[in-house]
Copies of this chain bind each other. A is one copy, B any other.
Amino acid sequence: MARVLDVVDIADPADPRLDDFRDLNSIDRRPDLPTGKGLVIAEGVLVVQRMLASRFDPRALLGTDRRLSELADDLAGRDVPYYRVSAEVMAQVVGFHLNRGVLAAASRVPEPTLADLLGGARTIAVLEGVNDHENLGSIFRNGAGLGVDAVVFGAGCADPLYRRAVRVSMGHALLVPYVRSTRWPDDLGLLREHGFRLLAMTPDPRAQTLSAAMDTVRDEPLAVLVGAEGPGLSETTMRASDIRVRIPMSRGTDSLNVATAAALAFYERCRTAP
């Protein structure tokens, strides 16, 4: 017989069954830190739904009765406890008022190999030094909406499974496959061996414009390389790329936010190579 959703009412915020969700803002509970518990946390109905559709299998949910009813269809037949609490108990457990009203916690899963990730992908994003969780989350959201098949992390990137990155990504950090490069920047050579053209985003005025460059690679697998706002891509990575590309900008302005620049590249890729 299939096991089913187990709704458990809890009134005591100190109940140890709620430990997965305790003090989420506390620095030593952050899953991206070595001292953290390593759990992946989804917040809110939409992101929890995406976690349920992802490779991350929730081991527990914590939420109000209202959110339980909103998730009823998604949770039907799932073998997972739903700890049903009041909004007050929830705030005491997580350490702040969480108006999204529901959380799910899942263990991490092994990452694919880079070679596995590249098989079948046509457009990937490659990030270097993107150490801001909001930018990282936005890149996943933009990539999911604009045809990116997978993401590769080079050196210096933040954890895409940190709670804020997952939230800003609207849950797409749980759905878009990614891998952390273990041999950076040498792995760029592996991308090239798999047939990918390496397109490096830069504010350099001598670089090709985005639309001109995308037109030249429309029939080939493409890796869009972006670096952090400010420093941009490292010189080593720039040299390892095939094409340097810029977004034409108005005079007197800086580069765009890294997630916005990436969105423009992904959009232009979709437009030129549908």
Q: A residues touching B (Cβ–Cβ < 8 Å)?
A: 138, 141-142, 144-147, 170, 172, 211, 247-250, 252-257, 259-260, 263-264, 267, 270-271, 274
Contacts and interface: CB of A to CB of B under 8 A. Distances in A.
B248 A270 contact: yes
Number of copies: 2
A147 B211 CA distance: 16
A170 to B, nearest CB: 6
Contact of A144 (B141, B253, B267, B271): B253
B263 A256 contact: yes
Given A145-B250, A259-B260, A260-B263, 16 more contacts: A141-B256, A144-B250, A144-B253, A145-B249, A145-B253, A145-B255, A145-B256, A146-B249, A147-B250, A170-B254, A172-B253, A211-B271, A247-B267, A248-B270, A263-B263, A267-B267
The 7 closest A-B pairs by CB, nearest first: A145-B253, A145-B249, A144-B253, A260-B263, A264-B267, A147-B250, A211-B271
A257 B141 contact: yes
8 contacts: A142-B260, A145-B250, A145-B256, A146-B250, A170-B254, A248-B271, A264-B267, A267-B267
Contacts of A147: 250
A253 B53 CA distance: 13
Residue from the set A145, A253, A257, A270 with the largest chain B CB neighbour count within 10 Å = A145
A211 B141 CA distance: 21
Contacts of A172: 253
A129 to B, nearest CB: 20
A250 B263 CA distance: 13
A142 B120 CA distance: 34
A176 to B, nearest CB: 10
